Amino acid sequence: MNALLSEHLILRGEKMVLDSQPLGGFFKINGHPSGLGGHPRWRGYAATWEIQDGRLYLVAVDGGQDVGLDTLFPDFLEGVFAHWYTGELRCPGGKRLQIAHRLYSVLTEFDVFIAVKKGVVTKERVVMNTLTPLEDDDPAFEAEHQKLMSLPRNAHLRKKD
Interacting residues toward another protein by CB under 8 A:
20, 22, 25-26, 28-31, 52-53, 55, 57, 73, 75-76, 78-81, 83-88, 90, 100, 103-107, 111, 113, 115, 118-119, 125, 127, 129, 154
Name the amino acid, one letter, at 25: G
Query: How many other CB atoms are found less than 10 A from the CB of residue 119?
Result: 18
Q: How far is the CB of 64 from another protein (least distance, A)?
A: 21
Distance from C-alpha of 37 to C-alpha of 127, rounded to nearest angstrom? 36
Distance from C-alpha of 57 to C-alpha of 80, rounded to nearest angstrom? 5
Q: How far is the CB of 102 from another protein (least distance, A)?
A: 11
- Planar angle of CA 71, 48, 50, nearest 5 degrees: 115
Name the amino acid, one letter, at 130: T
Q: How far is the CB of 48 from another protein (least distance, A)?
A: 15
Size of the chain in residues: 161
Q: How far is the CB of 88 from another protein (least distance, A)?
A: 4
Nearer to another protein, 62 or 113 (CB): 113
Distance from C-alpha of 107 to C-alpha of 79, rounded to nearest angstrom? 30
Distance from C-alpha of 51 to C-alpha of 10, rounded to nearest angstrom? 6
Nearer to another protein, 21 or 39 (CB): 21
Nearer to another protein, 30 or 38 (CB): 30
Nearer to another protein, 8 or 90 (CB): 90
Name the amino acid, one letter, at 69: L
Q: How far is the CB of 122 from another protein (least distance, A)?
A: 10
Nearer to another protein, 27 or 35 (CB): 27
